[in-house]
Structure 1
Amino acid sequence: MDLIAAILKDSKYNLTQFNYGQIEQLESKIVYRDAKGGTKPYVECLVRKKDVYLTPEEIVRQLYLMTLNEEFGYPYERMQVEYPVAFGRQTKRADIVIFDKDHTTSVYIMVELKKPKLKDGKDQLKSYCHATGAPIGVWTNGESISFYNRRDPNYFKDIPRIPKASETLPDVLTERWTIDTLIQEDKLVNERKSLKDIILEMEDEVLANAGVDVFEELFQLIFTKLYDEMESTRNKTRHLEFRNYGETETQLKEKIQQLFDKAKSKWGGVFSTSAKITLAPSHLAICVSSLEQVKLFNSNLEVVDEAFEYLINKSSKGEKGQYFTPRYVIDMCIKMLDPKAHETIIDTAAGSCGFPVHSIFHVWKKLAPNESNLFTAEEKTAEQKDYVREKVFAIDFDEKAVRVARTLNLIAGDGETNVLHLNTLDYERWNDKTEDEDWQDIYFDGWRRLKKLRATKNQNRDFNFDVLMANPPFAGDIKESRILSKYELGHKKDGKQQSKVGRDILFIERNLDFLKPGGRMAVVLPQGRFNNSSDQYIREVIADRCRILGVVGLHGNVFKPHTGTKTSVLFIQKWNDDESKGALCPKVEDYPIFFATMQEPSKDNSGEKIFVKKSDYPQAETIDKDASEDRVAEVVNTYSSGAENLDEYLLDNHGHLIVKHDLFNHDGLTQDGIAEAFVEFAKKEKMSFVGKI
C-alpha cells in the first residue's frame, strides 16, 4: 500500500473506514502514465469504466464505491459519479449518487467526499440533498463517516447506517436494539468520531440557539444514556430505550424524561428530584438521534472525560479551566503509591474524579485479579462496593465538576460515592455548607463518613487519610486574609502574614493536613515550585513535615492543548515513628530522593495523543487478533487524530491503543518506566508501604 500512502501524504484524507483487502485491490490496479511534470497515477473508475487521475479524494471515492457494492449490495449501474446538481444558473458536481430502484432518475442516496472537515462537508451535503430531494446523505473523508436521513429542509436525523439494497429506510429506523447491537454499531467505532465531535455537531445543529444551558442539557442526556446502557448490559435481552423507534417528537420526549427519572432514582445526588429535560421536543429528537448510536460505557474513562472537560470549560465563561489529569499520569501515581484495600484515599481537587476512580480499579484488581474491574456496566461484588463506600473520598469547589465526579464515581462504584461539594482551602466555612438542608439532601452520607476520619472531633482541619492524590488548580492567588491567617504558608518566614499566596501553595499545606502520620501523597505542581529561589521556604516546610519520596518531571505536552505549563509530581510520606498511628516513616536528617524526568512526550505539540506502534516493541505479545479487531476501534474514536493503519498499533489487554509514554509498563507490553524504577528504589529504601497487599 506504499503507492496509495504516497498519494495521500500531506492530504487531510485517511483510509481507516476501509479494509486492507479493498485498499490492496485498488492499489493493484494503479498504473502510471507520463504527464507534464512527470508520471502520474491512474486507475479505472468502477462506475465510469475509464481511467481517472488518482487524487486523494479519488482514492476515497473508489474505495467507497467498493463498499457500496460489496457491503451494501448496490450495483454500480445504479450509481453515478460527478452527478450535476443545479443551483440556479450554477451547476456543481456531487461525488457519488445512488438512484432509486423504482424511480431510476430520482436520487436516493447522496455521498459527499470533497470536504475533509465534517462541518464543511455536511453543509455541502445538505445543499445537494435539498436540491435533489435525496432522502439519505452520507459524508466521509475516509476516516470519519456520517449517515443522515433528510426529514425536512432544516432537520437531518442521524441514522446508524444506510439501508442495504435489499432493505428500506424504515427497516433501518425501526429495528430494535439491544446492548450487543449498540456494541456492534457504535458510532464512535464505525464513524471514527469522539463524543466531543458529536457534541460539537449538536451545538452546531440545535443547541447554540435552543435557549438552554448546554452543559445541563447534555449532562442530563449523557447521564440518562449511561443508565440505559447499564440496564441493558445487566439484561442482555432488554431493548435500549434511549433511541427513537419511530415515535413522534412528543412521545420521544416523554420516554426520555421517564428514563431520566429512573436514572435519578438509581444515582441520587447529581440532579434534583424535580429536574426536567427542558429541550424542545424537536431539538431533543435531534440530540437523541446524535447520541443513540454511541456507546458511552468503555473500559476506561476516556470517552466521557473528553466530553465533560469540554462542557465544563465551555460553561466556565472564561474562568479558570478545569484541566483533567491524563489517565496515564494518574496511573503512574497510583502504581507508585500503591493504595491498599484497607486504606482510605482522598482527592482534594477532584475534577472528574480520575484519581479516586482509578484507585478503585487498582484496588479491585487486588481483590479480584482475574476481573477487568474497569469502567463497565457489570454489577459489582459486595466487597467492591464496600471499598468504594468506606474508603474512597473526593472534594471539589466547582459544583459542575462535583456533579461530573459524582456521576463517574457513582457509576464506577455501582451506586456508591463520597464526592463532596466543599471548598478544600476554606475549611472554616464548611459548617455553613454541611448544616444546609439542601446540601445535606445530596451529600449527607458522604459527609457522615468523612467526619469519622477527622483527627479531632468537631474540627475540619486535620484528617487521618492514608493516601492523597490530587492535581490542584494552579491559576490565581488567595488574597482573603481570613483564609491566609490559618496557613503556615500564608505567612512569610518572619511570621508576617502575606497579602496573597498562590492557590497551589496553600493546597500543599492543606493536603498535608489531610494525611495521618505515615500517610503518603502525590500532588501535581508547577515546575517552578521546585526550582524558584523564592519558593525555598515552601520546600523547607514540606521537608520539615514529611519525607520527600520523589519528584517526577512531566513533559511540557502532557496538559496540552489546554496549557503548556511545565509540571512535576511531588511524592511525599509524612514522618511517623509510632506504628500505632500509621505507616512507619521515622524522621531522618539525610536520605536519598527519587528523581526522574519523563522523556516521551505522550502528545504532540497540538495536544493530540501519540500511540505505541508494534514496531516500537516488536517483542511484545498482544491479545488474540480476533478480540483486538473487535475492540481496537472502541478507543480510536476517543482521539480526534485517529490512526492511519490500525494494524500498526500495539493494543493493551482490553484492546485499547496505548499512549506512548515512559511513565510505567503498560500491561507488560511496553518497557518498564518511571513507576517501576521508583518501586525498586522504594524496596531498596525499605519504605513501609511497598510490597504489602
Structure 2
Amino acid sequence: MLADILKDSNYKLSQFSELQIQTLENGVILRASRDKLVPYATCAVRKREVKLTPEEIVRQLYVFVLRDVHGYPVERMQLEYPVNFGREIKRADIVVFDRDETVAPYMIVELKKPKLKDGKDQLKSYCNATGAPIGIWSNGESISFYHRKDPNYFEDIPEIPHAGQKLSDILQERWTISDLVAKDKLVTERKSLKDLILEMEDEVLANAGVDVFEELFKLIFTKLYDEMQSGRNRVRHLEFRNYGDTESELKSKIQRLFERAKDLWPGVFLDDDKIMLTASHLSVCVSSLQDVKLFNSNLEVVDEAFEYLINKSSKGEKGQYFTPRYVIDMCVKMLSPNSSETIIDTAAGSCGFPVHTIFHVWEQILKSKGFDRGHLFSLEEKPQECFDYVNDKVFAIDFDEKAVRVARTLNLIAGDGQTNVLHLNTLDYERWEERTSDEDWIDTYNEGWKKLKKLRVDRNSNRDFSFDVLMANPPFAGDIKEGRILSKYELGKNPRGALQTSVGRDILFIERNLDFLKPGGRMAIILPQGRLNNSSDLQIRNFVSDHGRILAVVGLHSNVFKPHTGTKTSVLFIQKWDPILCPKVDDYPIFFATMQEPSKDSGGKKIYVKRRDYPEVRTNHVVSEGIASEQLDHYNTEPVDLDEYLLDKHGHLIVKHDLFNHDGLTQDGIAEAFHEFAKREKLSFF
C-alpha cells in the first residue's frame, strides 16, 4: 500500500523498520473521493485523519522514530509549524520543542525537499529563523543530522540526542574505532564519501582559496592514519574528531596528526607541507568526515573519493579513467595470482589492480594460517608474510604525479610503510635514467626502484622485465607521435616495417606490457573493443597471437566507464608462450564472455543489488566488539523488505553485475565460468 503511493516519488521507506511501516499500513483508511479511493491515516500528533501523500507517509513514520526510538512524547511535537520570514509564513514539517522552554523549537525536521541540497537550505532557514539548535533532513532513504553553531555553520553530528540526553552529551562523547564501525555515516545515512566531498565543495571549499585536491588529500591521509592507530589499539580514542575544541585548537590537533602520518608514510607529502585550510573551514570539513569509516574490507570507500578528485583535477584530460573495482576483482579472480608471484600495473592510476591483488593474496595467506578475513581487513595486524608480499612482489608505475601519490598512500598502508609505486612514463623507458638520477626523485622512489631493477632481464636495459602477472587499464585517448618513442616498438611501424606518424597510446601499451612479462607470465589489459574486431587492427591481433595464448576476451558493458566515457571496452587476457607453462600451439580454445548487467545507469550512477533480486538470502548484521558480522540463512521464512538493498558481509552495498559471485550472496558469473574453462584446459595457474 505505502510502496504504491511512493512509487513515482523521490521518497523511500528503507530508513524505517518493518514494524514502523506495518503500524502505519495497519492504520490506513480508504475514503471515496471523485470515484476513487484515497488513503488516509490518523496523525499521531494532530489526532485527526490526514491524507497520505509521499511526504506525509515519511513524516508520520519519522514521528514514530522520534516517539518510539528517541523517546520524545508527541506532546512536545508540532507538525506544519509556522515559521515567519517577514510577511511570508512557511511551515516546517516537524518541530520538537525544548523540554524546559516548551514554546522554543529544539529540533526541526525537513521532509518537503527530497534532495539533500534543497532540504538543507530550507532547514538552515528554519533553524536560523527560530533559533533551533538541531536540524534533521530526510527523504525516507538518506538522513542527515546538523547542529546549528551559528547562522553560517551547521555542523554534521552523528545522531540526535535521546529525550533524556542533552546535545552536549552527543558532542562530547569520546569515540573508539568500534564506535566508528557501529555509527559509520556511510552505512547509517546511505551516503558515499564522494557525496560528502561534493557537499564540502559546495559549502566550504569552493571559496576557501586552496587547492581542493591537495587539502582533501591531506585530510583523508590524516584520517586514514588516525583510524589505523585506533584499529591496532581498540581502546584508543580517535583524534580526527571535534570533541568541543575551539577552531584553533582543532586545527593544531589535526596538523599534529598530519605530521605523524607523514612520518609513518613518507614520500607522499613534502616534509614542510601544512594544512592550508583556515581554522573555520577545517572545522567544517572535520565535522563532515569524522563520522565516516574510511577503512573497509577493500579501501573502496577512499578509492572512490580519490577517483573523483583525480579525475576532476587531471586524469580525465589524459583519457585515463579509473577501473571500477568490480571489474578489477573479476580480473584478479581470473588471473589468480599467488604469494610467490610478482605483479605490476603499468598504468596504475590509484593502484586498484595492485591493491585488490594484495587483498586476494592476503586472503590466501590468512586462510592458510586458519585466520578469517575481518571487517577491518585492510587495517588489522597481519602476519609478516602479508607485508613481505607487498614489499617484495607488488609494483606499480604511472606518469601522473597526483595519481602516484594516491597510489603510494594506499600501498603504504597495505605495505606497512613500504611501497614500490613509481612515478615513471611506462612507454618512454629510454628516458627513465633522466628521472631515476634526479635527487628529489631518488629521495622518494629509490627503494622501489632498486627492487624493480632486480627484475630486469638485462641489467643495462629498462625494456624487458620478468614479471609473473600484469594487469592494466592504459589510457584510451591520445596518440603517440614522437618518432623517437615509436621507433622502439614493433607496433610503432606498419606491416611493411615503415615508421608510422602516430599510434594509439593503448596499442603501444599492449607491446610494452608483453615486454614486462616473463615467458609463461600472464596479463589482463582493458582495451577499446574495436582493437579486437576492427579490420584495420589486424596487425595488433597478429602481434598478440605471435607472443602469447589469448586466454579470454570479456566484453564490458558500455556503461562501465560512464560518466567519463561511453567507449565500449573489453578485457583481453593473455599468457606469454613458454615451453613448459604455456607451450605454443596453432589452434586452441578461447574463453569469450559478454557482461549483461550494466552495473551503472546511463548517467554513470552505480546500480545496486536489492534484496528482492535474491529473496532467499536473509542478512542479519550482528555488532560484536565493533566488528560487524553476518549470518546467512538460505531458508528465510521472514518477510523481506523489497525496498532495502542487499548488503555484503561488511555492511556495504553490492553493485549489480554478472562478473563474479559477491561474497556468496549473488549468482556465479564470468569469473567462475572462466575457472571451469581454465581447469578443463589445464592452464598452468589453476
- TM-score bucket of the superposed structures, by smaller chain: over 0.9
Find the aligned partners of 2:78 and 2:471 in 1 and give their Cα distance.
60
Gaps of 5+ in 2: 631-639
Of the three residues 397, 412, 417, the one matched with 1:415 is 417
672 and 163 in structure 1: CA distance in 2 versus 1, 3 angstrom threshold: closer
Find the aligned partners of 1:178 and 1:653 in 2 and give their Cα distance.
21
646 and 265 in structure 1: CA distance in 2 versus 1, 3 angstrom threshold: farther
Of the three residues 241, 247, 250, the one matched with 1:249 is 247
CA RMSD of aligned residues (A): 2.1
Matched residue of 1:300: which SS? coil
Find the aligned partners of 1:286 and 1:279 in 2 and give their Cα distance.
10
Find the aligned partners of 1:681 and 1:313 in 2 and give their Cα distance.
37
1:601 aligned partner, one-letter code: P
Of the three residues 501, 506, 509, the one matched with 1:507 is 509
Find the aligned partners of 1:93 and 1:553 in 2 and give their Cα distance.
53
Task: Kindly tell me the number of residue pairs found equivalent between the two proteins.
Answer: 672
- What does 1:265-280 align with in structure 2 at a 5 Å threshold? 265-280=263-278
The offset of 1:271, in angstroms, is 1.0
- What does 1:422-433 align with in structure 2 at a 5 Å threshold? 422-433=424-435
Find the aligned partners of 2:647 and 2:84 in 1 and give their Cα distance.
48
Question: Which deviates more, 658-667 or 313-322?
Answer: 313-322
Question: Which deviates more, 203-212 or 414-423?
Answer: 414-423
Corresponding residue for residue 151 of structure 1: 149
Corresponding residue for residue 101 of structure 2: 103
Find the aligned partners of 1:60 and 1:622 in 2 and give their Cα distance.
25
Corresponding residue for residue 639 of structure 1: none
- What does 1:608-619 align with in structure 2 at a 5 Å threshold? 608-614=605-611, 616-617=613-614
Say if 2:654 is the partner of 1:658. yes
Q: TM-score, normalised by structure 1?
A: 0.93
Q: Which deviations, in whole Å up to 9, do the C-alpha atoms of 1:21-43 show, x marking residues without a partner?
A: 11111111111101135111111
Q: Which deviations, in whole Å up to 9, do the C-alpha atoms of 1:421-474 show, x marking residues without a partner?
A: 111111111111111111111111111100000110021111000100111110
Corresponding residue for residue 482 of structure 1: 484
Corresponding residue for residue 18 of structure 1: 16
Say if 2:356 is the partner of 1:358. yes
The offset of 1:142, in angstroms, is 1.2
The offset of 1:613, in angstroms, is 4.5
Corresponding residue for residue 137 of structure 1: 135
Corresponding residue for residue 399 of structure 1: 401
Corresponding residue for residue 689 of structure 1: 685
Residues 608 and 654 in structure 2, CA contact (< 8 A), matched pair in contact too: yes
Of the three residues 209, 212, 220, the one matched with 2:210 is 212
Residues 247 and 283 in structure 2, CA contact (< 8 A), matched pair in contact too: yes
Matched residue of 1:681: which SS? helix
Question: Which deviates more, 662-671 or 674-683?
Answer: 662-671
Of the three residues 513, 532, 543, the one matched with 2:534 is 532
The offset of 1:663, in angstroms, is 1.9
The offset of 1:647, in angstroms, is 7.8
The offset of 1:319, in angstroms, is 1.5
Find the aligned partners of 2:669 and 2:80 in 1 and give their Cα distance.
54
1:397 aligned partner, one-letter code: F
Q: TM-score, normalised by structure 2?
A: 0.94
Residues 375 and 412 in structure 1, CA contact (< 8 A), matched pair in contact too: no
The offset of 1:630, in angstroms, is 8.2
Find the aligned partners of 1:282 and 1:615 in 2 and give their Cα distance.
45
Corresponding residue for residue 663 of structure 2: 667
Q: Which deviations, in whole Å up to 9, do the C-alpha atoms of 1:553-593 show, x marking residues without a partner?
A: 1111222222221111111111112x5xxxx2222222222
- What does 1:236-635 align with in structure 2 at a 5 Å threshold? 236-316=234-314, 319-320=317-318, 322-369=320-367, 370-372=371-373, 375-577=377-579, 579=580, 584-614=581-611, 616-617=613-614, 626=622, 631=628
425 and 658 in structure 1: CA distance in 2 versus 1, 3 angstrom threshold: same
The offset of 1:350, in angstroms, is 0.7
Find the aligned partners of 1:122 and 1:653 in 2 and give their Cα distance.
32
Matched residue of 1:466: which SS? strand
Question: Which deviates more, 104-113 or 210-219?
Answer: 104-113
Say if 2:192 is the partner of 1:194. yes
670 and 165 in structure 1: CA distance in 2 versus 1, 3 angstrom threshold: closer
Residues 173 and 246 in structure 1, CA contact (< 8 A), matched pair in contact too: yes
Q: Which deviations, in whole Å up to 9, do the C-alpha atoms of 1:126-169 show, x marking residues without a partner?
A: 11111111121111111111111112111111112222221212
Residues 379 and 414 in structure 1, CA contact (< 8 A), matched pair in contact too: no
The offset of 1:653, in angstroms, is 4.2
Find the aligned partners of 1:120 and 1:322 in 2 and give their Cα distance.
34
Once superposed, which parts of structure 1, at least 4 consecutive aligned residues long, lie more than 6 Å away?
627-630
Find the aligned partners of 1:598 and 1:167 in 2 and give their Cα distance.
52
Say if 2:178 is the partner of 1:180. yes
Find the aligned partners of 1:656 and 1:73 in 2 and give their Cα distance.
29
Q: Which deviations, in whole Å up to 9, do the C-alpha atoms of 1:388-437 show, x marking residues without a partner?
A: 10000011111111111111112123323111111111111111111111
1:121 aligned partner, one-letter code: G
Gaps of 5+ in 1: 634-643
Residues 622 and 651 in structure 1, CA contact (< 8 A), matched pair in contact too: no
178 and 168 in structure 1: CA distance in 2 versus 1, 3 angstrom threshold: same
Residues 195 and 303 in structure 1, CA contact (< 8 A), matched pair in contact too: yes
199 and 655 in structure 1: CA distance in 2 versus 1, 3 angstrom threshold: closer
Corresponding residue for residue 636 of structure 2: none
- What does 1:71-110 align with in structure 2 at a 5 Å threshold? 71-110=69-108
Of the three residues 155, 162, 165, the one matched with 1:164 is 162
Corresponding residue for residue 44 of structure 2: 46
Identity %: 72
204 and 615 in structure 1: CA distance in 2 versus 1, 3 angstrom threshold: closer
Find the aligned partners of 2:564 and 2:215 in 1 and give their Cα distance.
24
Residues 309 and 322 in structure 1, CA contact (< 8 A), matched pair in contact too: no
Q: Which deviations, in whole Å up to 9, do the C-alpha atoms of 1:505-546 show, x marking residues without a partner?
A: 010011011001111111010100011111001111111111
Find the aligned partners of 1:346 and 1:600 in 2 and give their Cα distance.
29
Find the aligned partners of 2:627 and 2:29 in 1 and give their Cα distance.
35
Matched residue of 1:368: which SS? helix
Question: Which deviates more, 622-631 or 412-421?
Answer: 622-631
304 and 648 in structure 1: CA distance in 2 versus 1, 3 angstrom threshold: same
Find the aligned partners of 2:672 and 2:227 in 1 and give their Cα distance.
37
Matched residue of 1:151: which SS? strand
